[in-house]
Amino acid sequence: MTQHSRAKFQSSGKIQFGIFFQGVNSGTIWKAPESGSQTDFESFRRIAQTAERGLFAAFFLGEGLRLREHLGRPHALDVAGRPDAQTMLAALASVTSHIGLVATQNTTYNAPADLAHRLASLDLLSGGRAAWNVVTTDNAWTGANFRRGGYLDHADRYVHAEAFVETAKQIWGSWEDGAVSSSVSAESWAAPSHARSVHHSGQHYSVDVTPRLPRSAPYRPVLFQAGDSPEGRDFAARQADVIFSAHPKFDDAVQFRADIVSRSLAAGRGANDVQIMPASEFILGATDEGAREKKEWVRSLQIGPQQAVAYLEQFWGRELSAYDPDGPLPEIDPVVEETSETRGSGFHGAKARQLAEEWRAEAKEKGLSIRQFVSSRTSRVDATFTGSYTAVADTLAEYARVGAVDGFNISPWLIPTGLDDIVNHLVPRLQERGVYPTEYIGSTLRENLGLATPVRSESLEPVPAGNAR
């Protein structure tokens, strides 16, 4: 492509789907009779194979390296306890053939050479379907499960993550193309001096390794990234192939796209080089009314009375179980200076008292009970598409037309049947509208996402220590 065309964003006119098997958080309903196991392999197999039947591009697994806590105890109210992402994806690789396999993996509590090796292994094992959702953590609370403990300052986390990703890319690029012989009568298993060693010596770690895996067909795992701060967006614009965004609403998605295009260009990449797949939830029915009724049911099971009170407790820093979930917000003040949100999710550090006052005022003005108020606060509100199959298909077609997003990463609210409606009813309507794939284009995730094969980094010289660029 010419420089000019690379600089101008062009919509593909299509959207794709990913499935995000959360395994933790209140989005997954466990109280319904049809709620399945969160750990049995059959749940994972069923949902991955349904997604593949619906030509989904990717199957996502999340990761949290310490069990969530609430007021100093493990959080009891939501689904919790999930398998290791890469182990589960390696197993799913044997019972699926086309769907991408995305592992959320932490840069803080892994060693670059080890993580890069395991991701390369998953990529080869799956025939080029592996991806890495790059996440960072800095808290000592999570570090308590690891040899190094909490060693990283919050401000350093993207500097650290970027050096980590650069090192991983060098490891994935260290073997020559076609280094391993394709002849049964070869004299040498691989070309002599087939691999270059990789060195990195930085502030937080050092790496000195001769990688032991060749390049996969798509060169390396696809990189996803979900950071939303300005630093996170710049990091994604420099390093990621796909952003797992928090901006599913139409106008917001269009703005986010424009922002990422400009950041990508500023980073020297093409306008189409970074794809965007926002987190989303779908509540569908044969009619709009049916879908609305279903939504009432879904929400009542996602945010039960105990969850609503617990949501406030994490900001108040105290037990509030004496309060009626269907009554007004507590008049008593938080006992903490800063909020201590359920650990292992979301943000920390808001000023508790001020927040409580604002929320009380808002709930009073709108006449909302604790339960209603909490339901209105969760991030799912913006991320949910509710309506008839036809209406939602029309809505998504408009996203595709303008290129607001490249796809949606769908969190099903039921395991393992939560994609059935989408695959059976929404996907065919999207295909009729010409905005959804009718077959897998290729066998690798990179091909199916329409991502270009990356260029090998010119230099295998180490990234200078602490290089934030």
Residues 65-104 that bind other proteins (CB under 8 A): 65-67, 69, 71-84, 86-88, 90-95
Q: Which of 9, 141, 151, 440 binds other proteins (CB under 8 A)?
A: 141
Asked whether the beta carbons of 281 and 381 are under 8 A apart, the reply is: no
Using the rule CB under 8 A, give the single segment among 183-191, 237-245, 379-387, 447-455 that binds other proteins: 183-191
We find the least distance from the C-beta atom of residue 223 to other proteins, in angstroms, to be 19
Amino acid 257 reads R
Answer yes or no whether residue 268 interacts with other proteins by CB under 8 A. no
We find the least distance from the C-beta atom of residue 169 to other proteins, in angstroms, to be 16
Which structure tokens are listed for 345?
A: 């999710």
Q: Which residues of 145-166 are buried (b: 16+ CB within 10 A; e: fewer)?
A: eeeeebbbeeebbbbbbbbbbb
Using the rule CB under 8 A, give the single segment among 31-39, 230-238, 437-445, 454-462 that binds other proteins: 31-39
We find the least distance from the C-beta atom of residue 401 to other proteins, in angstroms, to be 38
Rounded distance, CA 143 to CA 151, Å? 8
In the bound state with other proteins, the residue whose beta carbon lies nearer, of 24 and 243, is 24
In the bound state with other proteins, the residue whose beta carbon lies nearer, of 18 and 64, is 64
Residues 340 to 359 in contact with other proteins, rule: CB under 8 A: 340
Answer yes or no whether residue 433 interacts with other proteins by CB under 8 A. no
Residues 189 to 248 in contact with other proteins, rule: CB under 8 A: 189-190, 192-195, 205-210, 212-214
Using the rule CB under 8 A, give the single segment among 115-123, 152-160, 256-264, 384-392 that binds other proteins: 115-123
Answer yes or no whether residue 408 interacts with other proteins by CB under 8 A. no
What x-and-dash track marks residues 440-459 binding other proteins by CB under 8 A? --------------------
Q: What is residue 176's DSSP assignment?
A: P
Please state, in angstroms and as integers, the Cα–Cα distance from residue 369 to each residue in 268, 308, 323, 349, 454, following that order: 50, 10, 11, 25, 52
CA angle 340, 344, 349 (to 5 degrees): 30
Sign of the Cα torsion 14, 413, 39, 61 reads positive
Torsions phi, psi for 208 (to 5 deg): -145, 100
Q: Which of 18, 27, 54, 64 binds other proteins (CB under 8 A)?
A: 64
Coil, helix or strand for 230? Answer: helix
Coil, helix or strand for 97? Answer: coil
Rounded distance, CA 61 to CA 206, Å? 28
Answer yes or no whether residue 287 interacts with other proteins by CB under 8 A. no
Q: Which residues of 409-446 are buried (b: 16+ CB within 10 A; e: fewer)?
A: bbbbbbbbbbbbbbbebbbebbeeeebbbeebeeebbb
Answer yes or no whether residue 177 interacts with other proteins by CB under 8 A. no
In the bound state with other proteins, the residue whose beta carbon lies nearer, of 76 and 381, is 76
Asked whether the beta carbons of 410 and 20 are under 8 A apart, the reply is: yes
Kindly determine how many residues on this chain lie close enough to bind other proteins according to the rule CB under 8 A: 90
In the bound state with other proteins, the residue whose beta carbon lies nearer, of 287 and 306, is 306
In the bound state with other proteins, the residue whose beta carbon lies nearer, of 76 and 402, is 76
Using the rule CB under 8 A, give the single segment among 34-42, 262-270, 380-388, 409-417 that binds other proteins: 34-42
| Residue 162: partners with Cβ closer than 8 Å, 6 or more residues away | 235, 238, 239, 463, 467, 468, 469
In the bound state with other proteins, the residue whose beta carbon lies nearer, of 352 and 397, is 352
Answer yes or no whether residue 117 interacts with other proteins by CB under 8 A. yes
We find the least distance from the C-beta atom of residue 139 to other proteins, in angstroms, to be 9
Cβ burial, residue 76 (10 Å; 0-12/13-18/19+): exposed
Using the rule CB under 8 A, give the single segment among 250-258, 271-279, 317-325, 455-463 that binds other proteins: 317-325
Answer yes or no whether residue 305 interacts with other proteins by CB under 8 A. yes
| Residue 420: partners with Cβ closer than 8 Å, 6 or more residues away | 50
Which DSSP string do the residues of 359-412 spell out, in sequence order?
HHHHHHHHT--HHHHHHHHSTHHHHEEEEEHHHHHHHHHHHHHHTS-SEEEE--
In the bound state with other proteins, the residue whose beta carbon lies nearer, of 332 and 402, is 332
Using the rule CB under 8 A, give the single segment among 13-21, 177-185, 232-240, 280-288 that binds other proteins: 177-185
Q: Which of 9, 11, 36, 146 binds other proteins (CB under 8 A)?
A: 146
